[in-house]
Structures are given as C-alpha cells and as structure tokens.
Amino acid sequence: MTDFPKSRIRLVLAPGVALGPGKADLLEGIRETGSIRAAGNRQSMSYKRAWNLVGELNRIFRTPLVETEKGGAKGGGARLTEAGEAVLSHFRGMERALAEAAAADIAALQAMVEPGAATLRTRDDDSTLEDRKDDV
C-alpha cells in the first residue's frame, strides 16, 4: 500500500520534453535489473512501451541515458550510463526537496481532505490529455 500524502513531479524541460516519475522509475528499474523488459514489467508496461521510452530518453538528452547489449549466449541487457545515473539522481533529489519544502502545506491540505475521499476517482481539472500522456 502506498503511503499518503505523496507528491509527484512532472518536469517539462522543453516543449514536448517531459520527465516524470514513470520515466524515473523505468531508469531505476533498468539500473536494478539490468533489463529494459524487467524494468517495464515492474510497472506493468509492455516491452515495446519501455523500449520506446528508453529511446525517447536517449534522444532528448545530449548523452544517452541507457546503453544496451544485444542478446546472445549471455542474453544481452541494459545499463544506465553516467548521464542516466546523473539524471535519475537529480530527479530523485528534486522529489526529496519538494517533499521537505512542502511538508507543512501538504499536511495542511491533507487535513482538509474529506474522510473517505479515497473512494472517489477524479482527474485534475488543470491538466489536458496532451499533458498527461507524458506522465510516464
């Protein structure tokens, strides 16, 4: 079960270029498993979707974030590059900093939430489908 409250960062670095918790989790999964497929599976993501996100990340940054090895007798694999480690570290640092800086405001908002509100399913009114497609 997820601990609440929690915040999520979605950083838009340039038009059409976003980095959010899904991509960070994918990078972290690749680092931990050495596999794009296994990292995607952790997020209930198809291999194709995970592979496409890795390709997108490698294109949007000046230096690729993930290196891959073709399969063979050893089975291939993937690993984060130095740039990938740096991007992941910076993103996780921002998450920690946000949680610390906003702790009082988050607690105040949580205190205002209606008991039982967890059963209600809503969408942010201030985001569009275009905004949300990059949340991964």
Residue closest to 20 by CA, chosen among 2, 7, 32: 7
pLDDT band at 7 (very low <50, low <70, confident <90, very high): confident
- pTM of structure: 0.78
Let me know how long the chain is: 136
Cis peptide before 5 (omega within 30 of 0): yes
Looking at the DSSP assignment, which residues form a beta bridge with residue 69? 77
Number of domains composing the chain = 1
Is residue 13 one of the residues assigned to a domain?
A: no
Classify 34 in phi/psi space as left (phi over 0), alpha (psi -120 to 50) or beta. left
Is residue 109 one of the residues assigned to a domain?
A: no
DSSP 8-state assignment for residue 123: -
Q: Record the tokens describing residue 35, joined without a space.
A: 């596999």
Is residue 108 one of the residues assigned to a domain?
A: no
Give the range of the structural domain holding residue 97, as residue numbers without chain letter.
Answer: 18-103
pLDDT digits (tens, 9 = 90+) for 51-98: 999 999 999 999 999 999 887 666 779 999 999 999 999 999 999 999
Is residue 70 one of the residues assigned to a domain?
A: yes
Is residue 131 one of the residues assigned to a domain?
A: no
Is residue 69 one of the residues assigned to a domain?
A: yes
Is residue 111 one of the residues assigned to a domain?
A: no
Is residue 84 one of the residues assigned to a domain?
A: yes
Q: Are 23 and 136 in contact (CB under 8 A)?
A: yes
For residue 83, what is the domain's CATH number? 1.10.10.10
For residue 117, pLDDT beyond 60: yes
